[in-house]
Amino acid sequence: MKRLIPLLILSLFTLTCGEKHDGVELQLWNFGGTPKFIEFLRARIDTFQILNPTIRIVQSEKSWNMIREILYSNLSVGTGPDIMNVHANYGAEFGGGGFYYAVNTFPDFEEVKSWYQPNLIESTRYGDNYYGLPCSAIAFTLVCNKDLFDAEGIAPPKTWTEFRTAARRLTKDIDGDGKTDQWGLVLLGGDRGGFAYRFAPFLFKAGLNILSDDLKKVEFNGPLGVAALKLFADMHQVDRSITPGFLAYQMSEINDLFCSNKVAMSIEGPWWRSVVNQKSPGKQFYTVPVPVPDHLIAQYETLPTLQDMVMYAISAFSKHPQESWEFLKFLRNVDADMHWVTEDFGGIATTTQVLNSPEAEKWEFIDVYRHELARARPWPSHPGIINIANNVITPWCEKAIVGDISPEEAMAGAGAEAQEILDGKR
């Protein structure tokens, strides 16, 4: 009999583990995120399932770099997850295309909407509908290597002239072998979206729009757009103050160069602190607004930078939209949002209560990010904007920076190609 007891327990365990879940099963596709965030997400799922035993969440990890391709290949044929984290500006392309569920159709949406900073929840909107809940916000800033700036005795730049001058002064031959081994600026050139997201803040700080308010006309290619591009072209071709291999750089190369004191400046977001700490714990840097054109210095405190945001969306093909909504609210309520402050996942909290909490006051650089985020602007809410950013603005501008074409030619070409997309000709 004693020999039968272990066999009986094993049999019961096998039957329990193998039985089919009788409730609702939701597929959650998580794109990217730090290990700390993924750990938080799994814990949040476990808690939700305890509170809602008839709902099971199945989490799958997916590549952030392939997000658009993965979603298109699945959603276009009516498959894929119930819930997914995506760029908020995908709301225009995927929401407008009928792939995302309009969350404003839920009866309690207005109450949920009140949790968030108004300009942030608006970033999830396309037309008359909201296609997700904000997860984490980003305002692009200039990060300056404190070791290098302090050694040179200069302050972070505020104008384009100061920016170029600082980059030139911080480009040096450190070991005396006749070759440059420290540069003023590094750019994320190997990631098309990454480059566009770092160039756009300079357009916004110049007072430019990417598109007209009615989304029918390109506006980034005017004289100030040319001037912004010429700034980078001159820094690379004349001053040699931009790292020569930037066209191939991904985030890992940028972090390595910054942490090893090979570069002085980069255009980054709130993830930079955790990225640097992973590579070089305790390393210090300044975080300041992106510089403005010299003639706009009086508006240094008010001109916008680029805002980016991750949101959680529900698939329009989900068989369980109400259950998905309940999970979405639990994932993005004030309690969950507080972890973006206390755990430092690499983004900015999005709820008003958390952003103004005592806990947020302890977050390094919170004043800069709150200030910039309050004024920041997202990419225009147009279905073709991701294509324009990644496949039009990036290649044309990179060609100008390395000297293949002039800034004037690049902006003219990018503007014409982007206009064709707006006109439905491409």
- 8-state DSSP, 295: G
Angle, nearest 10°, between helix axes 223-237 and 394-402?
50
Report yes or no: 343 and 273 within 8 Å, Cβ to Cβ. no
Asked if pLDDT for residue 2 goes beyond 80, the answer is: no
CA-based Rg of the chain, rounded to a whole angstrom?
24
Level-2 CATH architecture, domain 141-306+381-422: 3-Layer(aba) Sandwich (3.40)
**Structure confidence at residue 365 (pLDDT):** 92
When pLDDT is averaged across residues 229-233 and rounded to a whole number, the result is 98
Asked if pLDDT for residue 14 goes beyond 70, the answer is: no
Q: Look over the chain and give the mean of its residue pLDDT values, rounded to a whole number.
A: 92
The pLDDT > 90 percentage for the chain reads 87
Beta bridge partners of 116: 351
Least trusted range by pLDDT, from 141-145, 201-205, 270-274: 270-274
Q: Quick check: helix, strand or coil at residue 220?
A: coil
Mention every residue, 6+ apart, whose C-beta is less than 8 A from residue 267.
140, 141, 142, 143, 187, 188, 198, 201, 290
**Structure confidence at residue 141 (pLDDT):** 98
Q: pLDDT of 337-387, one tens digit each? A: 999 999 988 899 999 999 999 999 998 899 999 999 999 999 999 999 999
The pLDDT > 70 percentage for the chain reads 95
pLDDT band at 34 (very low <50, low <70, confident <90, very high): confident
Least trusted range by pLDDT, from 36-40, 79-83, 181-185: 36-40
Mention every residue, 6+ apart, whose C-beta is less than 8 A from residue 241.
164, 167, 168, 170, 171, 183, 184, 185, 235
pLDDT band at 31 (very low <50, low <70, confident <90, very high): very high
DSSP 159-193: BHHHHHHHHHHT-B-SSSSSS--BEEE----SSHH
When pLDDT is averaged across residues 296-312 and rounded to a whole number, the result is 97
Neighbours of 88 (CB within 10 A): 29
When pLDDT is averaged across residues 100-120 and rounded to a whole number, the result is 97
Asked if pLDDT for residue 89 goes beyond 80, the answer is: yes
**Structure confidence at residue 10 (pLDDT):** 34
**C-alpha distances out from residue 129 to 113, 121, 346, Å:** 12, 11, 28
User: Does the pTM of the predicted model rise above 0.85?
Assistant: yes
**Structure confidence at residue 22 (pLDDT):** 67
- Domains of the chain, by residue range, sit at 24-131+308-375, 141-306+381-422
Please provide residue 145's backbone torsions phi and psi, each rounded to the nearest 5 degrees: -65, 110
**Structure confidence at residue 33 (pLDDT):** 85
**Structure confidence at residue 5 (pLDDT):** 35
Instruction: Choose the most confident range, by mean pLDDT, from 67-71, 87-91, 405-409.
Output: 405-409
- CATH 3.40.190.10 is the classification of domain 24-131+308-375: yes
